[in-house]
Structure 1
Amino acid sequence: MTLAPTAADPEIERIVAGLPKVSLHCHLIGSVQATTIVDLARKHGVDLDGGRTADNLFDHASYEDLDEFLRVLDVAGSVIRDADDFHRVTYESLTDGGAAHNVLYREIFLSPPGHPGVPYRTIIDGVLAGMRDAETDTGIQSRMIVGLNRNGSAAAALELVDTVIEHRIDEVLGIGLDYSEAVGPPEKFWKAFRRAGEGGLERTAHSESGPPHHIETLLDLLGCSRVDHGYHVVDDPEMTRRCVEERIPFTCTPVSSDIGRYSGSGDGTHLRIKQMVDAGLLVTIDSDDPPMFGTDPTHDFRALAVALGYGLDELAALTMNGVEATWLDATDTRALERRARTMIADLAAGRKAQA
């Protein structure tokens, strides 16, 4: 099952296709095309859910049930096993799923616990090779974020952080916290996040379905400098005010979160994101797990443009928020900003030429 296309006029299509994009919330496992999963399953002799094919592997509408989505995500992770696999899925995600949509930069979420039995260095080496080849071929830049599985134990999370620090490379910028909040509340992982901070790693965490006080936990106990999703922040005026004042970035994913009924009401209104933007929060836009939710970097911006009436100015502001929210150093951030502003100016010039 696929999502129905969102109708948009030619000018919106021109804008969303040409808009430069900064990707801060995209999971590698969830970025793998169904055809690639089938190929890798065949390579490793794995039966996919009783013989599922590329045509029926992903059932987007069923992901309103988070557990069903995570089950399929685990299936995808289980067939990515060797360095060549990680190279392939990384390269495809960054090129066809990134540069082809004018993504200039991506911080890739890795999920080592989602690849049972695969050594950490195998994952990192394969992903790094894919990143380098993608940049050579398309110019897209990328870095890595290592995700901790909140459905696992606090001890396992701490052990993974120690592994990240032991095998630290410059391309790994920080850690995240994903999977189900209902099973793994953020405070459970404070030791792992403290260790990450001591090791010089940046920190973020998913906070999609939890209460507003989880945002406070992320900022004050876990030391996060970004929040992934975080739509419920607007339920707490004081927390909203604090995050506005401190310029805390929120990495929102319109299409996937709307299917899960977090960023709207499951009806494509994206009201939560509108409330966050209107409140002055630093909102960025990405695609989460694009093929698994029937979306891509262009389509997520299209969804907001159509639902909220956003034009170039509003969409470009979201891109520039993404530039500000990266974990790049000051030199690389300025270079990315120049690239993005140049492309936005070209889009604006095209708009004026048509007027």
Structure 2
Amino acid sequence: MDTNPALPVAELHLHIEGTLQPELIFSLAERNGIELPYGDLDELRSRYEFTDLQSFLDLYYANMAVLQTEQDFADMTRAYLARAAEGGVRHVEVMMDPQAHVSRGVPLETCVNGVASALATSEEEFGVSTLLIAAFLRDLPEDDALAVLEQLLAMNAPIAGIGLDSAEVGNPPSKFVRLYRRAAEAGLHRIAHAGEEGPAQYISDSLDLLGVERIDHGIRCMEDAALVERLVRDQVPLTVCPLSNVRLRAVDTLADHPLPAMLSAGLNVSVNSDDPAYFGGYVDDNFSQLRSVHGLTTHQQAALAANSIRSSFASDARKAELLGQIRAWEIAAHVRS
């Protein structure tokens, strides 16, 4: 058993719906009188072998049916926060997919208030500071996203920014220019998934057309030398999710993952879990497997953690506090070695 203290990190690429563990799915189904299409936990777990992004999304959306009440959303969020805190997460910027809930009849207030209620006490309960990001589904029309954003703004929802997720192929950033312009007018932070299954050009377009401050995934930037040079020069944050990339077949094996090369190139990369209930691990699990497969040094791990803090939307004071914790962790690690 590893008795070393967890590396303090910020988690910047986390879909709260992707933290629904099988046990909680069954518990919420029983609470809400929902009949699941799985006979037991083993049958549900057997569905977690994915061939691509879409095969994951099919199960991801099906399991959301158990989320019905504010309490359901709060319980899901608290379960994530408790587990993340154990693994060293000290700040998290949680993405939630409001369209996935309103489209099945759950009021917008229910999903937002449920998640937000758990986030509101997370620093006191778990030592984890938080921000909430409304992520929009890129396979739906832009008008749909705009309508939900206007509702969020009208209800003064406690969101710090917007994101763009779901099926990337065939849904380019150019489809959402008006959405991101409106978010900018409202003073919201802007991030977007790009360069996971989609081409490197989607990364450039997200920066140029949408004005994003951070790229989720971004691993296919390595196919474009000029883009890598730009990303290094501007230190654009890339929230990389190694275990997710392997499980969704964006990368064949963890040994093939470009993260070490990205780090060596000077890219501003961080390690994140994406949808940990589905992809085999939380942030600390990602770090553990990267250490095992790629031999990440203490200094490299600290550098990745520091990148996550600096790339967050946390306050300057919180960033300084957490960067100090990382320095202390690195010093202690060297003493132990």
Name the TM tier (shorter chain).
Answer: over 0.9
Match status 1:322 vs 2:308: yes
- Structure 2 counterparts to residues 144-293 of structure 1, below 5 A: 144-169=132-157, 171-207=158-194, 208-262=196-250, 264=251, 266-293=252-279
User: What is the one-letter code of the residue matched to 1:166?
Assistant: A
- Structure 2 counterparts to residues 66-81 of structure 1, below 5 A: 66-81=53-68
Match status 1:41 vs 2:29: yes
1:113-138 superposed Cα distances (whole Å, 9 cap, x missing partner): 22222222222221122123433222
1:199-247 superposed Cα distances (whole Å, 9 cap, x missing partner): 1111111111111111111001011010000111011111110010111
Structure 1 position 328, deviation (Å): 1.6
**What is the root-mean-square deviation in Å for CA atoms of aligned residues?**
1.8
How high is the TM-score relative to the length of structure 1? Answer: 0.89
**Partner in structure 2 of residue 53 of structure 1:** 40
Structure 1 position 275, deviation (Å): 2.2
User: What is the one-letter code of the residue matched to 1:25?
Assistant: H
d(CA) in 2 for partners of 1:43 and 1:238?
53
**Higher mean C-alpha deviation, range 249-258 or range 183-192:** 183-192
User: What is the one-letter code of the residue matched to 1:55?
Assistant: D
1:128-158 superposed Cα distances (whole Å, 9 cap, x missing partner): 2212343322211111111101111110111
Alpha carbons 2:122, 2:130 under 8 Å: kept? no
Pair 121,109 (structure 1): closer, same or farther in 2 beyond 3 Å: same
d(CA) in 1 for partners of 2:109 and 2:317?
28
Decide which of 287, 290, 297 is 1:304's aligned counterpart. Answer: 290
1:14-45 superposed Cα distances (whole Å, 9 cap, x missing partner): 56x62112101111011111110111112222
User: What is the one-letter code of the residue matched to 1:84?
Assistant: Q
How high is the TM-score relative to the length of structure 2? Answer: 0.94
d(CA) in 1 for partners of 2:308 and 2:45?
29
3-state DSSP of counterpart to 1:108: strand
3-state DSSP of counterpart to 1:62: coil
d(CA) in 2 for partners of 1:142 and 1:227?
19
1:162-202 superposed Cα distances (whole Å, 9 cap, x missing partner): 22322335x52111111001242221111101100111111
Pair 260,347 (structure 1): closer, same or farther in 2 beyond 3 Å: same
d(CA) in 1 for partners of 2:45 and 2:236?
33
d(CA) in 1 for partners of 2:311 and 2:156?
22
Q: Which runs of 5+ in 1 are unaligned?
A: 1-9
User: What is the one-letter code of the residue matched to 1:18?
Assistant: A
% identical aligned pairs: 30
**Partner in structure 1 of residue 6 of structure 2:** 18
User: What is the one-letter code of the residue matched to 1:121?
Assistant: E
Structure 1 position 61, deviation (Å): 5.6
Alpha carbons 1:18, 1:347 under 8 Å: kept? no
- The number of residues matched between the two structures is 334
d(CA) in 2 for partners of 1:146 and 1:65?
24
Q: Which runs of 5+ in 2 are unaligned?
A: none
Alpha carbons 2:25, 2:63 under 8 Å: kept? yes
3-state DSSP of counterpart to 1:304: helix
Pair 321,41 (structure 1): closer, same or farther in 2 beyond 3 Å: same
d(CA) in 2 for partners of 1:28 and 1:325?
20
**Partner in structure 2 of residue 125 of structure 1:** 113
d(CA) in 1 for partners of 2:206 and 2:329?
34
Structure 1 position 58, deviation (Å): 3.3
Decide which of 331, 334, 339 is 2:317's aligned counterpart. Answer: 331
Alpha carbons 1:254, 1:270 under 8 Å: kept? no
Alpha carbons 1:254, 1:303 under 8 Å: kept? no
Structure 1 position 60, deviation (Å): 6.6
3-state DSSP of counterpart to 1:24: strand
Alpha carbons 1:58, 1:72 under 8 Å: kept? no
d(CA) in 1 for partners of 2:183 and 2:24?
33
Structure 1 position 336, deviation (Å): 2.6
